Structure 1
Amino acid sequence: MATQADLFAPSLLVDALVAGVDEAGRGPLAGPVFAAAVILDPARPIAGLTDSKKLSAARREALATQIREQALAWAIAQADVPMIDELNILQATLIAMRQACQDLAQVPELILVDGNRLPTGLPCPARSIVGGDALEPAISAASILAKTARDAYCLALHAQYPQYAFDRHKGYGTALHLARLVQYGPCPAHRCSFAPVRRLLQAVPT
């Protein structure tokens, strides 16, 4: 009988139905955090999968299309700004990861999560892998889907609030973003619990 440790032995992972999980958007000052889960099809390998941050935007989009077309199952979930502000970004991220796993059309036999924390309530055994988005193809695929979904959200946010230039910084705390925050103040999409936004709100006279 296989033990819990044996579940992660390389010999038992070969034929297992493995889901990779990753997130995008933990660090930005605005918008939801996105998480994706992907079960790749061993019969239809996808070349070029790696950490989404190492890919150009055009290459990410091309790979995202391939993943959606060729994976056995995939799902994308998000935790919104009110949840982030209420719980904190880590807990919100873990909730989004769990939801992505639960939304998969197939139940995996093993879940591999990028990072060093695991969500609770997963449908099968799981392990965390630091730097997994560059090591495990299924996690790489999840990182690409999460990143492209969040980037698409930021482009839509830019159309709604063009003064903040979300199309350029994607919500991260760049010099440009911070300057626009000071100039215009936070918009409804900003995370009030994050220090740069919180300081601006505290500075507003009541």
Structure 2
Amino acid sequence: MTLNITDMPLEQFKDWLVPIVNEDIFTSRERLIALLAKNAPHDELEEEFREFFNGYYVLALELEEYEEVILGIIEQNDAFAHLNHRISAVEAQRKSSPLGREARRMGLSVHGDPVPEIKVTALSPDEFRGFVHTLANWRFFVSRERLVKLMETDDRIEISYRLRTEFYEFFVCYLELELFLENYDYDPDDGLELRPEFIEELEREEEYIRSGGKMYTLEEVAEELGIDLKCMN
């Protein structure tokens, strides 16, 4: 998708930013900070981290769609030399492919990509607390706060350039957060129990198949419904 941030009118740019800066990861991060501050039990911290990680996954899907465009803008502007230096450092240290990074967020791996070295669920309570503390205090979140404050500023002339500049800082901080998480293996669905009604449905389907019930292919279903699969490609 083409995204012309540099020519986008200020109000349109702010509207585009709204869902990004309000993703669930940011409210979850605030809850993590509160849990850390009161030295909450490990299971509470672990449960909130799952929410945090799910929020991170959603935000990553949002941002990576525009990664190529944003990196191109930063690269072409001499004023962002400091950001280009940080981007180069990230790219030099990255071990996984874009597909591998997406798979890692789901607790999966891609053939040919290195397997993360550290399993989050294997961390001791103290190690896990330290890990969460590092994430919750990442400067990515500081940059997000600056973005929000700029978005709330009424002076259009003052913030037009600053808002875009801060967004590029925010994006590079996100890349650095991604790099940090590259070494960690975590599946947010690991250990979750299936809903009883879902288990019952699986058991009914299994019994249906054992008793001779027929399974239909996609092609057979399409033929029955009169759908031409070729038209859907």
Q: TM-score, normalised by structure 1?
A: 0.26
Higher helix share: 2
Higher strand share: 1
Q: TM-score, normalised by structure 2?
A: 0.24
The one of the two structures with greater contact order (alpha-carbon pairs below 8 A, sep at least 6) is 1
